Structure 1
Amino acid sequence: MAKKANEASVSGEHGGEMGAPTPSLKLSKTNYRVWSMFMEVYLDSHDLWQAIVGENVSKKKDRLALPAIISAVPEDLLVMLDAKKTARENWEILRQQNLGVDRVIQSRIQGLRRELEMLTMAKTDSVVDFAMKFTHVVSELRSLGEVLEEKDVVRRFLRATPSKFDIITLSLEQYGDLDKVSLDEVIGSLTVHELRLKERESREEEQALYAKAMSKTKITAEESQSRGGGRH
């Protein structure tokens, strides 16, 4: 009895007699390329990849590979598959269905990569305005399955800013750790610096206007004295 219970436990754990554990990565509408690579390694590690690419595959191996594939497909995509067909035939169905979608996604990713590389903060842009443009592209890339590490995103953002922010970039490079700082923290630092620059520019403008007004007043006074002296 104990032996039978143990066999049942093993069977339940692996989803079938001598079957492979359920794959940890599920197919989605945007990750076919990554999913297919994962499944190839996964099936091969359980000696089942030959059911997809091999000839004269045994029925037993096919019946083990097919549940593994099906278990890695979400319910809304299962309608594409046919349990009566072989693992190889179902694999081909998924490949054909996702090939066109994958090409569109990869094309979009390439376009967004170029857009990200070309993004530059204009002199008329505020930090917040540019950050919205930048993070929108980054978010869209990530939603399509593109892996973007935060440290790389931070460095790309800093490269896109004008020279007036160089002091912040140098400070982060010398005293901070660009591998640990988040994009939100960088945007916050640049926004504070931008506000300080605007306050300084405002003060300088006020001082310039005051100096100009004082100069004009002085000239007017001198001209008045000159005219008064002429009458005497």
Structure 2
Amino acid sequence: MFNKIKTCATAKEIWEKLTQIGEGNDETKEKKLIVAQQKYESIKMKDGETMTEFDERFSAVVIELTILGKEYSNRELALKVMRALPRECDVKTMAMRKFKDLNKLELHDLFANLKAYEF
């Protein structure tokens, strides 16, 4: 890594070079964003997966998208999670849609509620 930045004269040049190495050029970033959005769109809770495991997997995709410049509202995230859950969670998700303000429901609060229901 040092060999790639040793010719840089300023901290700004070093930072820009490291950013380019880590993130890639605009085309690379766009491709990473497309892949991350595909992961987001296709995510479903797997058979035998715990709510904690799904929370970690879903949150990793959301963080990846945020880093790439794509953000979703609380409502969009909550609805996506609810659609990704298995059918046995339908009663819980219907109740949450009715009684919770999805615009204000943070992702961690949603998963805390779902984890309590899982027990």
Q: Does residue 132 of structure 1 match 2:68?
A: no
Find the aligned partners of 1:79 and 1:136 in 2 and give their Cα distance: 25
Letter in 1 for 2:29: I
Cα RMSD (Å) = 2.0
More contact order relative to length (CA 8 Å, sep ≥ 6): 2
Structure 1 103/169 Cα, relative in aligned 2: closer, same or farther at 3 Å?
A: same
Matches within 5 A, 1:1-232: 76-77=12-13, 101-195=25-119
Kept in 2, the 8 Å contact 1:158–1:169? The answer is yes
Q: CA deviation at 1:152?
A: 1.0
Offset from partner CA, 1:67-113 (integer Å, 9 cap, x none): xxxxxxxx614998xxxxxxxxxxxxxxxxxxx71111011000010
Find the aligned partners of 1:106 and 1:128 in 2 and give their Cα distance: 30
Offset from partner CA, 1:25-61 (integer Å, 9 cap, x none): xxxxxxxxxxxxxxxxxxxxxxxxxxxxxxxxxxxxx
Superposition misfits of 4+ residues, deviation over 4 angstroms: 77-80
Could you tell me which runs of 5 or more consecutive residues in structure 2 were left unpaired when the two chains were aligned.
1-10, 17-23
Structure 1 169/79 Cα, relative in aligned 2: closer, same or farther at 3 Å?
A: closer
Offset from partner CA, 1:208-227 (integer Å, 9 cap, x none): xxxxxxxxxxxxxxxxxxxx
Letter in 2 for 1:189: N
Find the aligned partners of 1:148 and 1:177 in 2 and give their Cα distance: 16
Q: CA deviation at 1:148?
A: 2.0
Kept in 2, the 8 Å contact 1:168–1:189? The answer is no
Find the aligned partners of 1:124 and 1:149 in 2 and give their Cα distance: 28
Query: Alignment identity in percent?
Result: 23
Find the aligned partners of 2:105 and 2:71 in 1 and give their Cα distance: 18
TM-score relative to the length of structure 1: 0.41
TM-score relative to the length of structure 2: 0.77
Aligned residues: 102
Q: CA deviation at 1:163?
A: 1.1
The structure whose Rg is larger is: 1
Letter in 2 for 1:76: K
